[in-house]
Amino acid sequence: MSTAQHSRSIDAAAKAALKPLGCVQKGRSRTWLDDHAWWIGVVEFQPSAWAQGSYLNVGACWLWYEKEYLSFNTGGRVENFQPSSSDDQFSLIARSLAKRASEEVVVLRERFKSVTHVHAWLADQQAASIWDHYHLAVAAGLAGATELSKRSFADVMSDPEDRPWAADIRRRSTELMRCLGFRSGFDAEVMGTVERARNLLGLPSIEGQPSTFD
Distance CA 58, CA 175 (A): 31
Residue 211 lies in a domain: no
Domain that holds residue 32: 3-111
Judge contact between 134 and 169, C-beta under 8 A.
yes
Judge contact between 49 and 128, C-beta under 8 A.
no
Judge contact between 8 and 27, C-beta under 8 A.
no
Residue 210 lies in a domain: no
**Type and span of the H or E element at 53:** strand 53-62
Residue 206 lies in a domain: no
Residue 56 confidence (pLDDT):
97
Residue 205 lies in a domain: no
Q: How confident is the model over 67-115, as pLDDT tens digits?
A: 999 999 999 999 998 887 666 778 899 999 999 999 999 999 999 999 9
Residue 198 confidence (pLDDT):
97
Max intra-chain CA distance, the chain: 60
Q: Are residues 87 and 13 part of one domain?
A: yes
- Is the pTM of the predicted complex or chain greater than 0.85? yes
For residue 131, CA distances in Å to 152, 187, 196 come to 10, 19, 19
Residue 129 confidence (pLDDT):
96
Distance CA 147, CA 158 (A): 17
Distance CA 154, CA 177 (A): 9
pLDDT tens-place values along the chain, 214 residues long: 556 677 888 999 999 999 999 999 999 899 999 999 999 999 999 987 777 889 999 999 999 999 999 999 999 999 998 887 666 778 899 999 999 999 999 999 999 999 999 999 999 998 899 999 999 999 999 999 999 999 999 999 999 999 999 999 999 999 999 999 877 899 999 999 999 999 999 999 998 776 567 6
DSSP three-state, residue 47? coil
Q: Are residues 126 and 103 part of one domain?
A: no
Q: Are residues 96 and 84 part of one domain?
A: yes
Q: Are residues 104 and 41 part of one domain?
A: yes
Length of the chain: 214
Residue 213 lies in a domain: no
